Amino acid sequence: MINCKPQTGFSLISAIFLLVVIAALGTFAVTLSTAQHQSQILDIMGARGYQAALAGIEWASYNVNQQPVNSPVAWAGCTTPGAAVAAGVGSGLESYTITVSCSATSAVEGANTIWLYDVSSVAETGTPGDVNYVKQIATAKLAK
């Protein structure tokens, strides 16, 4: 009679293989979830940056509208290069640095002097090269 030993250890190899596959799938799921979360955060930060840049344009528009009609000089904000604008407290835009710059040219139509303004607003947060760095630019042409 031949003595045959039952084979053992095959289920151990299968269990180790399944553990490795499940761990790899778990790692992939965590990595994918983290990437999606970071993408959503950057999307929100970009939208806030755009709103901050628009706030700079609105600030310049308000100041241009305060100029008297037929003014002999341009808005004084155009003579100051890169005026910094502070975002309102509680607006969610406090972390953004908003810089507004513009150039003014005049046109004379009859007895009226019309000032044309090219306004640019840059909103930034973070430092360039950083993962959370956001920079948004808005431009406008204004006349008064």
Q: Which helix (H) or strand (E) is 105 found in, with range?
A: strand 97-109
What pLDDT sits at residue 81? 65
Taking Cα atoms as reference points, which of 83, 90, 91, 89 lies closest to residue 64?
Answer: 83
Domain ranges of the chain: 10-143
119's CB contacts (< 8 A; 6+ apart) are: 57, 60, 61, 100, 101, 102, 139, 140, 141, 142
* pLDDT reading at 141 higher than 70: yes
The pLDDT tens digits for 40-55 are 998 999 999 999 999 9
How far apart (Å, rounded) are the C-alpha atoms in residues 106 and 111? 13
What pLDDT sits at residue 71? 84
How far apart (Å, rounded) are the C-alpha atoms in residues 102 and 82? 8
For residue 80, report the phi and psi dihedrals to the nearest 5 degrees: -95, 115
**Top-confidence residue, 92 or 30:** 30
The pLDDT tens digits for 55-81 are 999 999 999 999 888 888 888 888 666
What is the mean predicted confidence (pLDDT) over 86-114?
A: 83
How far apart (Å, rounded) are the C-alpha atoms in residues 87 and 126? 16
pTM score: 0.74
